Amino acid sequence: MFNRYCLGYDNKNNHKILRFLHHDNCRHVEHEIYDFKSDLWRVLDVTPDWILPDYLQAGLSLKGNTYFVARERLRMREYLICFDFTSERFRHCLDLESKSLNGDTVILSPVREDQLAVLFYRVDTHDIDIRITRKIEANEVSWRSFLKVDVNPFMFSGMLSEFLWYFFVDEKKNVALICDNQSAYMIGEDNYFKIVALGKSTPWPVVCSYVPSSVLIPKGPVHVRGKKKIRIICPLSLCS
């Protein structure tokens, strides 16, 4: 059992933390939000009809909001949701043509600092389909197709023999780099394929893009001789 934490900010650049508190062996989840400006935790009044399984990504932060691949409680269908740190509400972004029970894989990845990519792997056809957002705003998300590859000819390489967790795209070269716990695979149009052995890693490695930021985040109010001051912590790197 574990809790999830997500960092984001609203449209006034006020930074906040979203927390998922798991109870009763993850059957019940409570959502709380911390506001750096007020230095307070608040319980969010939300009752989602979805869950965030622990085998899916913890979430991806982009332009202040956080995106998740969620699973419906009843139909087991997966789709993309977003937590909006301005409205402090979850919203639906994209239906995913996958179900967790058949082994399909869905992965999210940032593109530059302002767009989002999603990778679908269908286990029945061995197709990888990657889409990138055309526009991603608080109330509107639109998508375009980036790359579609049949990876069945490459299965001999061991690709997709283990869970995949990370991928990155190069829009200029029209290729994607997909990583598991021991190799990196580069795929592209016209059956382009290249593999780089990284050596098996235990525990599972964390691969992510790094976007430096000089944003100073308030740690909360400090009272000095009756006067209220804002305490500042060091710069924090944000994927946004």
Is residue 205 reached through a cis peptide bond, with omega within 30 degrees of 0 on the bond before it? no
Q: What is the pLDDT of residue 225?
A: 54
Contact assessment for residue 79 and residue 72, using Cβ atoms and an 8 Å cutoff: yes
Q: What is the pLDDT of residue 184?
A: 83
Q: What is the pLDDT of residue 135?
A: 87
CA trace torsion 124, 130, 133, 139 (10° rounding): 20
Q: What is the pLDDT of residue 172?
A: 92
Q: What is the pLDDT along the chain (240 residues), one digit of tens a residue?
A: 567 889 899 999 899 999 988 766 556 788 999 998 888 899 999 888 888 876 566 788 888 999 988 888 777 778 889 999 999 999 888 877 655 556 678 888 989 888 999 998 887 788 889 999 998 876 778 889 999 988 877 665 555 545 556 889 999 999 999 887 777 889 998 888 888 887 776 665 566 666 666 666 666 555 555 555 555 444 444 433
Name the pTM for this structure: 0.79
Beta strand 183-188 with 193-197: parallel, antiparallel or unpaired? antiparallel
In 3D, which of 164, 172, 67, 176 has the Cα closest to residue 131? 176
In 3D, which of 146, 144, 138 has the Cα closest to residue 188? 146
Q: What is the pLDDT of residue 213?
A: 66
Q: State phi, psi for 101 to the nearest 5 degrees.
A: -75, -20
Q: 4-235 sits in which CATH class?
A: mainly beta
Q: Where are the domains of the chain?
A: 4-235
Q: What is the pLDDT of residue 44?
A: 93
Structure tokens at 155: 């299965």
Q: What is the pLDDT of residue 147?
A: 93
**Amino acid symbol at 154:** F
- Going by C-beta distance under 8 Å and a sequence separation of 6 or more, which residues neighbour residue 178? 119, 128, 159, 164, 166, 167, 184, 185, 186, 187
| Counts of helices then strands in the chain (DSSP H, E) | 0, 19
In 3D, which of 155, 66, 78, 184 has the Cα closest to residue 116? 66
Strand ordering across the sheet containing 127-136: 105-111, 115-122, 127-136, 141-150
The CA-atom distances, in angstroms, between 188 and each of 145, 169, 181, 198 are 13, 10, 21, 20
**Amino acid symbol at 112:** R
Q: What is the pLDDT of residue 78?
A: 81
